[in-house]
Chains A and B, each alone.
Chain A
Amino acid sequence: EIVLTQSPATLSLSPGERATLSCRASQSVSSYLAWYQQKPGQAPRLLIYDASNGATGIPARFSGSGSGTDFTLTISSLEPEDFAVYYCQQRSNWPITFGQGTRLEIK
């Protein structure tokens, strides 16, 4: 099973700042990595797929990068609605796995 480790567990920033979230895989997942956003009481929403492709309707301030074992989700300038929990997910191998999440909170 591929283990995804996200860091930091919690990130405290202010609106307008840049956010950088990390996801590290225990073995290579090539570019088969996705990022999701989840707000309290809501279902997750796909943000980025295949490491760097923005999903439909996702604002341009969200971007993804990386390949192999190290991946980054960047939010260029935080909006109030961006404070949420973010998960990475790999689809390189079965079983599909998720990271444990990064909570992005308002400082």
Chain B
Amino acid sequence: EVQLLESGGGLVQPGGSLRLSCAASGFIFSSYAMSWVRQAPGKGLEWVSAISGSGGGTYYADSVKGRFTISRDNSKNTLYLQIDSLRAEDTAVYYCAKGSRASGTIRFDYWGQGTLVTVSS
């Protein structure tokens, strides 16, 4: 059974930083691209970032480019999102999602339950 468990969310001041983690199990982690998708309160889904199975390819939405860094540790079956220079508009539930293949554009076969990031002073 595929399981994705996010952690690391919380309340942070504008300009602050957080590192989100996603622990994966139930599949061969290194064989699949992974992604972060966020959802602001009461709003729709917004793709944030993706990383290939090997970690060699990374992709970002324009809204987060230069502030967010996606990475993965295939030895630990864990996906990360380093979030810097946080803004109020980054407030959202951040979902970890498993991609449908190792690289390239993907659909999201499985999703975690999300971790809430709140940016406020």
Contact = CB atoms under 8 A, between A and B. Distances in A.
Which one of B62, B107, B109 has the highest number of Cβ atoms from chain A below 10 Å of its Cβ? B107
Nearest to A56: B109
Contacts of B37: 44
A91 B114 contact: no
A27 B35 CA distance: 24
Interface stretch (A18-26, A59-67, A93-101): A93-101
Contacts, number: 59
Nearest to A85: B44
B52 to A, nearest CB: 12
A43 B105 contact: no
B107 A44 contact: no
B100 to A, nearest CB: 7
Is chain B's binding surface mostly helix, strand, loop or mixed?
strand
Interface residues of A, number: 26
28 contacts: A1-B62, A34-B107, A34-B108, A38-B45, A42-B113, A43-B112, A43-B113, A43-B114, A44-B108, A44-B111, A46-B108, A46-B109, A46-B110, A50-B107, A55-B109, A89-B47, A89-B107, A91-B105, A93-B105, A94-B105, A95-B59, A95-B60, A95-B61, A95-B62, A98-B44, A99-B44, A100-B44, A101-B44
Interface of A: 1, 32, 34, 36, 38, 42-46, 49-50, 55, 87, 89, 91-101
